[in-house]
């Protein structure tokens, strides 16, 4: 599924969902650095996203060449505001299953962009015929995200204690998954 999807957001702005390309590397890095300072729910914080543009370009190319990986970006009025990065396993026994991470600029929260990115991921997995299970981890106090994942059909599968340490405080994570059949 190589489709570009376009939507009109409730606030009148235009949303485009599409696969990342090498030329997006610098804008993706800039967006991730911004997001890192806007939330404590990610696995990295402000000043911790330090991938050089050439490395990001190589990563994007690897995703474009694989049938069990997806690097999806969300653009609002031409600006990259978020992404979903999904990686399936590299060995034959686990290439059908993988995990994703999602991030979205704070100024775009509550507009339905996260749900649209997740729907794209699920549709891509179903259309591709390779991915049969999608997993995620979410901090147990991220109620909005948990609600979205459950609404999209993800099921709770377990708890990981002390999964993150933020400002001297441990946080557990909920493992969730959805079967693609």
Mean pLDDT of residues grouped by 10 in the chain (181 residues)?
Answer: 88 96 96 90 84 94 96 97 97 97 94 96 97 97 96 97 94 97 85
Q: Specify the pTM.
A: 0.93
Per-residue pLDDT, 56:
95
Read off φ and ψ for residue 151, nearest 5 degrees: -60, -35
Per-residue pLDDT, 1:
65
The CA distances from residue 97 to 20, 78, 92, 179, in Å, are: 21, 32, 10, 9
Q: What is the pLDDT of residues 37-56, one digit of tens each?
A: 998 888 888 887 889 999 99
Tokens of 79: 């600006």
In CATH, which superfamily holds the domain spanning 5-132?
Answer: Gcn5-related N-acetyltransferase (GNAT) (3.40.630.30)
By CB atoms closer than 10 A (0-12, 13-18, 19+), residue 83 is buried
How far apart are the C-alpha atoms of 85 and 91, rounded to whole Å? 19
């Amino acid at each position: 599924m190589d489709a570009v999807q376009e939507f009109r957001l409730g606030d009148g702005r235009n949303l485009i969902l599409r696969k990342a390309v090498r030329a997006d590397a610098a804008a993706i890095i800039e967006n991730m650095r911004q997001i890192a300072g806007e939330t404590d729910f990610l696995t990295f914080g402000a000043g911790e996203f330090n991938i050089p543009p050439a490395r990001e370009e190589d990563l994007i190319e690897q995703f474009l060449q694989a049938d069990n990986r997806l690097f999806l970006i969300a653009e609002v009025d031409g600006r990259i505001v978020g992404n979903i990065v999904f990686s399936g396993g590299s060995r034959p026994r686990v290439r059908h299953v993988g995990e994703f991470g999602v991030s979205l600029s704070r100024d775009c929260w509550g507009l339905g962009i996260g749900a649209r990115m997740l729907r794209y991921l699920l549709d891509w997995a179903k259309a591709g015929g390779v991915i049969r299970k999608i997993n995620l981890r979410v901090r147990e106090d991220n109620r909005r995200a948990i609600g979205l994942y459950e609404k999209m059909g993800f099921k709770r599968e377990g708890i990981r204690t002390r999964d993150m340490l933020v400002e001297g405080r441990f946080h557990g994570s909920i493992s969730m998954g959805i079967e693609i059949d």
